Amino acid sequence: MSQHDTVTALRRFGLGPKPGDMHKIASDPRGFLLSCITDKTAARIDNPDLDPSHVVYALTQEAQFTQRLGQLLLKEALKADAGKVAAAQAPVSSGPVSSATPPGAVSPAAAKPLTNGSPNQMRRDVLNDELAARIERAVTTDKAFVERLVLFWSNHFCVSSAKGPVRGLVGGYEREAIRPHVLGRFATMLRAVTQHPAMLIYLDNQVSIGPNSRAGRNRARGLNENLARETLELHTLGVAGGYTQDDVTNLARLYTGWTVGQVNVERSEPGKFFFAANRHEPGDISLLGKRYTDEGQRAAEQALDDLARHPATARNIATRLARHFVSEKPPAALVAALEKTFRDSDGDLSAVARTLLTQPEVWQQGPVKIVPPYDFAVSLVRGLGLQQKPGEIVRLAGLLGQPVWQPPSPKGWPDDDDAWMGPSALRERLRIAERLARDVDRNADPRVLAADLLGPALSEQTRQAIARSEAREQGIELLIMSPEFLRR
């Protein structure tokens, strides 16, 4: 066991130590990490105050109907008689959504504050609650490795709250489609994310219509390939995974009908995955040389299962994991080991995580990768015992270029250092360090903190710089900004 194992365990595979953590795991850092993944449900957040995403969807949709109905009524009233405007406004401004609840709407949580205000306000409120829950977990957890797996997979299968309707669903998406599966089977997670309304909306599959389907023959709209393209390029095979444009189009055909239940669509449950048979492209479709007979929803599910098992998928996932956790240019042996485990275990992500933690390569290299903004903000709060509210962590991560749940494209956040080392980024990290250092316990000695948080990674130069600092706050700033703290 190398001296640096504690650092590797808590920083490379964690979100930075809390005070005392280094000491706690010092006797067996590798064993500590492995113990984090024995409970396969460790990533779940079961918080009764957080609504399932289908409930949020249904309630915001109700509110939207009500708002539109109100506008319509008012417009009619304006047209009919300008003098009666005041009277017509009454039903609009009185506002309880129940007055215009469309048939089939969900209303168990109707008494909650969620139902107040505009649909946009509701989505923002839900988003804030979800962010708070996620950050609370990140800041307090003792199994930070599991949280890192969530961050990895949530980024691998990212959606963005920048798209309005996704805003209220993104938190639920992570809790429902990512967290239960990060130590489960890849194929299960792949299906869960691909059928989740947040993904179907983010990548436009809910508007995709088979050209020869019943719905397609009646309207001008047609196939939308976004989800199919990203499934192949990002989620499974990878960009060099050997598929063609025909495969993209054919997977898009297989996906037709995969949509989201609506309050006004019969037999559908609002906000849940719904197979709209009338949009489904009829006929057999081939993908990557295999023919899928038309069985409605089942055909695409079959195709996804096959994609999950494809050797190119194993390679793609192995490479991305190694890049994320170890190095931009990961050791070939590590990638090969991850790939083999993925294939041999039929995509058992627990087994893959175990391989990641037990390969000698990951323990040999010192800190390399820049800690990205969100993880940086979380590690500050964890390490320095700060009381910053979740909103502040969200704000800081956004300022440094990583707004939570708002990646720039379906590719997700980049995994290279350059992305986080833009010219003014380090300077802003220092400004954050200067500000937060003021909130650290007045009795804390920066030299002791440095030894506690950086452990054996603390270099002689950093130790000296902190020891020679002209004030306590400056010592803490230098600790936060030291290469050992900025890299992992």
Partner 1 sequence: MACTEQISLGRRQLLAGGAASLALWGFVPKGMAAGTRDPRLLTIILRGGLDGLSMIAPVGDPDYERIRQKLALTREGAAAGLPLDSFFVLNPSMPFLHALYQKREALAVHAVSTPYRGRSHFDAQDVLESGLPGVTRADDGWLNRALAGLSIAGRADPKGLAMGAVVPLVMRGAAPVMSWIPKAYGIQLRDSTVARLMDLYSQTDPKLARAFAEGLDIDKVATAQAAAAPAAAPAVQPGQPPTPRPFRDFVDTAETAAKFLSAADGPRVGALSYNGWDTHANEGVVQGQLANRLSGLDAAIRAFAEGMGPAWKDTVVVIATEFGRTAYTNGTDGTDHGTATAALVLGGAVKGGRVIAKWPGLADRNLYEGRDLAPTLDLRAVVKGVLRDHLGIPAGALGTKVFPESRGVEPMDGLVA
Residues found near partner 1 in the complex (CB under 8 A):
70-75, 78, 92, 160, 162-164, 203-204, 226, 230, 396, 398-401, 403, 406, 408-411, 417, 421-428, 430-432, 434-435, 459, 461-462, 465, 468-470, 474, 477-478, 481-483, 486-487
423 by Cβ neighbours in 10 Å (0-12 / 13-18 / 19+) ranks as exposed
Fill in the DSSP letter of residue 185: B
CB of 424 vs partner 1, minimal distance in Å: 4
* Residues 209, 479: Cα–Cα separation, whole Å: 56
Q: Please say which residue, 351 or 481, places its beta carbon nearer to partner 1.
A: 481
Q: Please say which residue, 101 or 469, places its beta carbon nearer to partner 1.
A: 469
Q: Please say which residue, 282 or 398, places its beta carbon nearer to partner 1.
A: 398
Sort strands 290-292 and 285-287 into parallel, antiparallel or unpaired.
antiparallel
Q: Please say which residue, 101 or 474, places its beta carbon nearer to partner 1.
A: 474
**130, 124, 128, 168: which is closest to 260 by C-alpha?**
168
CB of 447 vs partner 1, minimal distance in Å: 15
CB of 63 vs partner 1, minimal distance in Å: 13
Helical axes 29-36 vs 144-156, angle rounded to 10°? 60
3-state SS, residue 349: helix
* Residues 294, 396: Cα–Cα separation, whole Å: 49
Q: Please say which residue, 203 or 318, places its beta carbon nearer to partner 1.
A: 203
Fill in the DSSP letter of residue 177: I
Provide φ and ψ at 304, rounded to 5°: -65, -45
> HSE (CB half, 13 Å, CA atoms) of 317?
34
Length of the chain: 488
Q: Please say which residue, 49 or 470, places its beta carbon nearer to partner 1.
A: 470
Find all residues with CB under 8 Å of 21, minimum gap 6, and list them: 10
* Residues 212, 281: Cα–Cα separation, whole Å: 6
Q: Please say which residue, 200 or 352, places its beta carbon nearer to partner 1.
A: 200
CB of 400 vs partner 1, minimal distance in Å: 6
Q: Please say which residue, 262 or 406, places its beta carbon nearer to partner 1.
A: 406
Find all residues with CB under 8 Å of 165, minimum gap 6, and list them: 60, 123, 201
Q: Please say which residue, 23 or 431, places its beta carbon nearer to partner 1.
A: 431
CB of 74 vs partner 1, minimal distance in Å: 3
Q: State the residue for tokens 């002791």.
A: 448
Q: Please say which residue, 389 or 431, places its beta carbon nearer to partner 1.
A: 431
CB of 62 vs partner 1, minimal distance in Å: 18
**467, 471, 449: which is closest to 17 by C-alpha?**
449
CB of 71 vs partner 1, minimal distance in Å: 4
CB of 202 vs partner 1, minimal distance in Å: 9
Q: Please say which residue, 282 or 408, places its beta carbon nearer to partner 1.
A: 408
CA dist list (Å): 218 to 204, 257, 282, 296: 20, 15, 15, 19
Q: Rg (Cα) of the chain, in Å, rounded? A: 25
370 strand-pairing partners: 487
CB of 338 vs partner 1, minimal distance in Å: 26
Query: Quick one: which H or E segment has residue 383?
Result: helix 373-384
Q: Please say which residue, 66 or 355, places its beta carbon nearer to partner 1.
A: 66
**67, 51, 75, 180: which is closest to 123 by C-alpha?**
51
Query: Quick one: which H or E segment has residue 259?
Result: strand 258-260
CB of 229 vs partner 1, minimal distance in Å: 8
Query: Quick one: which H or E segment has residue 258?
Result: strand 258-260
CB of 322 vs partner 1, minimal distance in Å: 21
CB of 465 vs partner 1, minimal distance in Å: 5
Q: State the residue for tokens 């008689």.
A: 81
